[in-house]
Structure 1
């Protein structure tokens, strides 16, 4: 009796959405595989169609998609890709979302509000995702929203390495732009051995994206001040914080943030700001129409590629959570 020949080894495939194929291509080159050929179409009525043009049966599949504007379109495309993989009998599906969509809506601030970050996690799971991988979630609790393993990578080592190479530590102060980012700032101070300062601010609850900046807690006079945050959206918060630091005597102000959302007036505000340099990563694409000469963009492709390799080989991803051994 002739036996059935079965594939004995796992095989890895990387699939990319259309939001930011350049990052996916960089990741694929570092992993050492080609992106799976994919046909993706947006119809006239805005519906999205996706088909993988080679077999994915039994594959360990990673679906890479960034989520710039329009966020809803790219989120839906990624969900459709996951569904297509599930129906094509992929063995395991990992969603790779460098910047988690709806990450700021992680809790209820008032009655009758959604927790949209949880909804997105549920959508990924329902579509067929087995695992989720992201960088610098807005709140760590989002890891608990997804019913499955979550690889919460951090971009801190990438940013810290650049800061260490360029700025002297003996006169550096790490600054949190508000009370909510103190924990992130603490992680920076642990890495750099620098003192911490905090800017106390209050938002107007009736006006979106408008910030009233208060006082500085800590010594910033005559020092190089490093403002740290997880994202820069309209840049109102961080630019107002930079001006506050200069008003309090800071010699130089720089910024480091993971996700360059850069909505609306962000480019103008950053170009007119008191910053000497703004350091970000490429978790999101920056439009060719946006010109910010003092912005430096660092790549997270090596971080994601290493995480994908470790997951595929059933290795340890722990070092990528705390930034050791990168």
Structure 2
């Protein structure tokens, strides 16, 4: 491509090399190093005057250093009289901080967007932003690519009987993402809701549910089958029961039976002497503790003894469950969702699928060790160490062709929207 330069940052050089190979260009030379006092230094080794410049820099383990590296590189290209500067961020840093979850908080993703624009970026390309409304943080054009078509292609080719599979959202905030993938695959979807507030009546509720279930089972065993119509009614009743809400308890991050009693807590200890329910969360003036619909279960560390209630809305019995999210950073909610689908809801297999595999600390090791998770599927938008790539259950999908085609179309002034329908064929 003429009049075009592609710079590859230090955050994810492997992905940058793959993108350049697909474009048929060599990465533009630049020197990025640190001074002895920790300051970042960037030196461009080629002229960028009146050229289109693309800078590939994703999120990483040392996110703050690489953000400064990106900002300095953008500013250096602006000072070199570049015609247009495009920041390519496959995984947008600080994307989880796209709203004010607590009082006196900061919307850090908007601040980063302002920094990019002030540094001189004219265009931003990313993939699967944590919240689609983040595009409104920028005063310049933003192209938010989707990893869903690539994930859908892998599901079609590797999941047995994928037409009978069910795409599952592990929290209510991800239902839009899940329904989009389910529509692309033309399969059903389900949703999991984890409630952290009903601690006081969680014991009585589960006990009553267990008693009701036993009563229905005993009645079905006692009732004689007089004719074929009665047999059809019984089968219809079982189908209705299987399509209802499946609820279970989570203690210390794992699904337990209804009659399980934690050693450190008892039903009487849940309610205080005053009759009120103690809450570890900070109470607000108008009531409630957090945005339950959109909150991430793993953002805030819960008490070890705190019990949760997990509910599946949908039917995964004798089917493959595909738990989908935009990123995998902590293992807790994925493991509990997989256990609930396999132990209580009758799923045959469980696939954990996401676009960004961040895997904080020993997240990948815990997911791989879970006997209820069959495979972990992510794309290569986030850098992984060679040791993590050798994980038995991990599958990595290459999305470099998507970014390469987006850069090519943007450089030649072609439509980007065509990509959204044809990504699966790349």
Deviations 1:41-82 (A, max 9, x none): 112222110111111111100000111111111111111110
Q: Give the TM-score normalised by structure 2.
A: 0.72
1:295 paired to 2:394: yes
1:255 paired to 2:247: no
Deviations 1:106-125 (A, max 9, x none): 11122211111100100000
Deviations 1:245-304 (A, max 9, x none): 112211100111000000012022111222111110000111224352101000110000
**Counterpart in 2 of 1:316?**
415
**Counterpart in 2 of 1:307?**
406
**Counterpart in 2 of 1:246?**
342
**Counterpart in 2 of 1:66?**
58
> Mean alpha-carbon deviation: is it higher for 234-243 or for 146-155?
234-243
**Counterpart in 1 of 2:332?**
236
What is the count of residue pairs matched by the alignment?
A: 318
TM-aligned CA deviation for residue 240 of structure 1: 1.6
**Counterpart in 2 of 1:219?**
315
TM-aligned CA deviation for residue 33 of structure 1: 1.0
Structure 1 runs of 4+ aligned residues shifted over 6 Å read none
Greater C-alpha Rg:
2
Is the 8 Å Cα contact of residues 156 and 323 (structure 1) preserved in structure 2? no
After superposition, the CA RMSD in angstroms is: 1.8
Note closer, same or farther for the CA distance 1:209–1:185 as it changes in structure 2 (3 Å cut).
farther
Q: Give the TM-score normalised by structure 1.
A: 0.93
What is the rounded CA distance, in whole Å, between the counterparts of 1:246 and 1:216 in structure 2? 12
Mapping of 1:127-142 within 5 angstroms? 127-142=119-134
What is the rounded CA distance, in whole Å, between the counterparts of 2:100 and 2:308 in structure 1? 22
Q: 1:318 aligns to what SS in structure 2? A: coil
Is the 8 Å Cα contact of residues 98 and 134 (structure 2) preserved in structure 1? yes
Note closer, same or farther for the CA distance 1:205–1:150 as it changes in structure 2 (3 Å cut).
farther
Note closer, same or farther for the CA distance 1:137–1:209 as it changes in structure 2 (3 Å cut).
farther
> Mean alpha-carbon deviation: is it higher for 198-207 or for 231-240?
198-207
Q: 1:304 aligns to what SS in structure 2? A: helix
1:97 paired to 2:189: no
Deviations 1:75-98 (A, max 9, x none): 111111101100111110000000
Note closer, same or farther for the CA distance 1:293–1:205 as it changes in structure 2 (3 Å cut).
farther
Is the 8 Å Cα contact of residues 8 and 57 (structure 2) preserved in structure 1? yes
Structure 2 stretches of 5 or more lacking a match?
A: 197-279, 283-298
> Mean alpha-carbon deviation: is it higher for 205-214 or for 150-159?
205-214
